[in-house]
Structure 1
Amino acid sequence: MATIHDVAKLAGISRTTVSRVLNCHPYVTEEKKRKILNAMKQLNYVPNSSAQRLRKTKTDTIAVFVPRITNPFFSYLVEVMENEAAKFGYKLILCQTHYNKEQEKKFLELLKTKQVDGVILTSIENEWRHFKPYLNDGPIVICNEYDDDAYVPSVYLDQVKGGYLGTKHLIDRGYKRIAYCAGSERRSRLTRDRRKGYEQAMKEASLVIDEDWYLYNAISIEDGKNVFLRLKQIKNRPEAIFTGSDEVAAGLLKAAKDSGWRVPQDLAIIGFDNQPLAQLLGLSTVAQPVEKMGSQTMKVMIQAITGEESKNPTNLSFHLIHRTTT
């Protein structure tokens, strides 16, 4: 069955504009109307009147999906979003997916049953085809993550550049044997792209990568401690490590110092995000503009709810912070 998303894609016009035409909204050009009507005809798309009435129900509530709120990055991001939403009279519902695909699907029902006006995804566990049927029930905006198949507004950072920036910093500091540590590569597009950036920087410097230097399934402080134990067993032991999280970097730092290692002399460590923890521990890190990301995402969501056009996508920038661990 065709959706409003399919109509928008075929017509080459935003979903918001298609929605305006379906609801007889003024200020849509005749040319756009013609393209939309032709697309509807080709797809045999028929608006569901009961669904349209349901969509007009307003809750002034927005759902934000996060993998886990105990990660300070997501805590701060949600706080910024909440403050921005309050300016426009909206409140938030926090939905923790715990990196679980089925849990994510269950939360999407909030949009279908009109318990929320829109959904913000800060992580994506399922393939985009699972989200597509819900696009007719309300706006979905992506923050932090990205997906090439997602035809929705997004606010993100180029993670290839993030991986490159952190690795290049270690190379510029004179390190040659550099490990790459991250979460699940299979699940996360972010992890895969950061790895691309890492490999790009290593290749540019003509540095060989040992396959044993790829260390995955690390998202917490405790995971960072375990990564250090794994790292100690590597025959061609790295002298520096790029991590995808300040939490993991903090765990590594603690375990290394507990074992009598000097940081950065015996092991240089760089984190990711620039959480308050990084400043407290003196961690070098790749900083993300969390405040700008959160506020911009909420503005885009409210524009989508109110039927305004929004730029798609919004690409923000990283910057490197050098502290004592490199």
Structure 2
Amino acid sequence: MANIKDIARLSGYSVATVSRYINKNGYVSTNAAQAIQRVVEKVDYVPNTIARDLSTGRTKTIGVVVPFFEYSYFSQLFASITKAAFNAGYSVIALKTNYDAELERQYLEQLHQKRYDGLIFTSHTVSLETMLSYQKYGPIVCCRNLGDVPLAATYSVRNKTYDDVFELAKRGNFQGIALTLNRDYDHSPTTQAAIDCYEQVFHQKPKPEYTVTGVLGYEDGYQAAEYFLSLPKPPDFIFANSDNIAAGIFQYYRNQQQPMPTIVGQENEVVSRLMNISTIDHHYDEVGKNAVDLVINKKVQHIPVSSEFIRRTGQVSSI
């Protein structure tokens, strides 16, 4: 297999000139470029991208740490990161963890080994202190509000739109307000935001019987609805943690031919548009783009992104 030295010998130009032409990192005259290109085509030369990455210290690869893909928050955010990375000429590797802190540490160690140009954590279990200790090896970005922690972060600001949802329920004089959540309060910033906003609006915590955790997708929403209808007083307002979950809740109520509660979802997925479900758009395209930019440019900044409450009327609810 031909190498740069072979191309230099066959083209009559120096190794430095051939290297500048192949790597597109300096001036090469038109005559030299044409001569080198003829030789490249003749010998069917293919650049050794691995060697090039080692020489430049870059892999053009971003590791994206994702607990799992069943929850639409993670799948949407991963898709937006992937799109932004590809547009910037980078590859993406999905690093699944299922919230295993040891796996997360292994991925941080792989950053130390230069397997990635940076890591984006869509969520995490490993401590921020551990992340900070690895920051010297490459950019680390978290997709949540880190407060004063000096790690890069970009995230959707949820409090305003969560307040809007609960204020809507309060004005509507709903008597039973239920929430479906991913994880419990101590382990999820999004759960904390939802419950804190509820408490701010109603001046009390949500009723335990109206709060269901471990809800990730359509089937979980369907089962949550079955539970809600088993209560002596089923809720008349349900704030779901995704539109797919909201659709599962709706389907169970319809199958049981029970009066439909008002349902609000999240993520502005296609199903919410088809079913006219009110929802929150967290603008993950912008969050993903910001995360990739923070990695590529090695910035340690916090970039909030405003979310948007979208009110719809239709077969599920009229609010």
Q: Could you tell me the TM-score, scaled by structure 1's length?
A: 0.73
Match of 1:50 in 2: none
Residue ranges of structure 1 left out of the alignment (5+ in a row): 1-53
Matched, 1:213 2:210: yes
Q: Summarize deviations over 1:228-263 as a string: whole Å, max 9, x none.
A: 122123234321111222222121111111111232
Match of 1:75 in 2: 75
Provide closer, same or farther for how the CA distance between residues 101 and 80 of structure 1 changes in structure 2, counting only shifts above 3 A.
same
Match of 2:250 in 1: 253
Match of 1:200 in 2: 200
Residue ranges of structure 2 left out of the alignment (5+ in a row): 1-53
Determine if contact 2:195/2:205 at 8 Å carries over to the other structure: no
Q: Could you tell me the TM-score, scaled by structure 2's length?
A: 0.74
Deviation at 1:291, TM superposition (A): 1.4
Determine if contact 1:73/1:275 at 8 Å carries over to the other structure: no
Letter in 2 for 1:164: D
Summarize the alignment of residues 61-210 of structure 1 with structure 2, pairs less than 5 Å apart.
61-143=61-143, 145-148=144-147, 150-185=149-184, 186-203=186-203, 209-210=206-207
Computing the radius of gyration over CA atoms, which structure comes out larger, 1 or 2?
A: 2
Deviation at 1:192, TM superposition (A): 1.0
Summarize the alignment of residues 269-284 of structure 1 with structure 2, pairs less than 5 Å apart.
269-284=263-278
Q: Summarize deviations over 1:135-170 as a string: whole Å, max 9, x none.
A: 121110112x23346321211123333422222233
Determine if contact 2:62/2:116 at 8 Å carries over to the other structure: yes
Residue 300 of structure 1, aligned match among 294, 298, 318: 294
Provide closer, same or farther for how the CA distance between residues 220 and 138 of structure 1 changes in structure 2, counting only shifts above 3 A.
same
Distance of 2:166 and 2:97 partners within structure 1? 30
Distance of 1:87 and 1:152 partners within structure 2? 24
Provide closer, same or farther for how the CA distance between residues 286 and 63 of structure 1 changes in structure 2, counting only shifts above 3 A.
same
Q: When the two structures are aligned, how many residues end up with a matched partner?
A: 261
Distance of 2:213 and 2:84 partners within structure 1? 35
Summarize the alignment of residues 306-321 of structure 1 with structure 2, pairs less than 5 Å apart.
309=299, 312-321=301-310
Deviation at 1:83, TM superposition (A): 2.7
> For 1:244, what is the secondary structure of its paired residue?
coil
Distance of 2:73 and 2:213 partners within structure 1? 19
> For 1:316, what is the secondary structure of its paired residue?
strand
Provide closer, same or farther for how the CA distance between residues 187 and 209 of structure 1 changes in structure 2, counting only shifts above 3 A.
closer
Distance of 1:294 and 1:232 partners within structure 2? 38
| Identical-residue share of aligned pairs (%) | 25
After TM superposition, what 4+ stretches of structure 1 lie above 4 angstroms from structure 2? none
Distance of 2:181 and 2:272 partners within structure 1? 17
